[in-house]
Copies of this chain bind each other. A is one copy, B any other.
Amino acid sequence: MQAPELPADEEFRFRATLSTRWSDKDIQGVLNNAVYLTLCEEARYRYFDSLGLIETDRHFPFVLAQSHLRFIAPGNGPAMVEILLRTVALGNSSFRQVYRLREISTGQVWVECEALLVCWDPVTRGSRPMGDHFRDAVARFEGLSI
């Protein structure tokens, strides 16, 4: 099973500072695996909010198609963490992102993640082509060709 391959830190242009909670740890004394998807989602919200692409009622204009987590070191809570996030590819109706989550105090990477997301029409409840405004905003921020 191949782990996601992520770019080096310096290629990321977005960074979210988040906190884990005491309750995020499970009975084995580590940050529960599901919490990492919650933290990536939180970073994703901030990323698209900073680009002005969140819709009414704080809805995302896309849905997840795939997410692939690699657990590198056991996490802790409460702790301050940062997530580096980058959109690495834009398709016709989908895009791919990568995430690196690190504890701030130690610099230890806990998790890396790759995700595939699909532009979504809430009315038809189906995928839709990526809108020009969305594509332009992400491509410009990331320095991607469109």
Contact = CB atoms under 8 A, between A and B. Distances in A.
A66 B57 contact: no
Nearest to A22: B45
Interface residues on chain A, size class: 35 or more
- When all copies of this chain in the complex are counted, the total is 4
Interface string A100-131: 00000000000000101000001001000000
Contacts of A146: none
Contact of A22 (B19, B41, B114): B41
A26 B26 contact: yes
Contact of A60 (B19, B28, B78, B116): B28
Contacts of A15: none
Contacts of A78: 42, 45-46
11 contacts: A19-B19, A21-B41, A23-B38, A25-B27, A26-B27, A34-B38, A37-B37, A64-B69, A66-B68, A67-B68, A68-B68
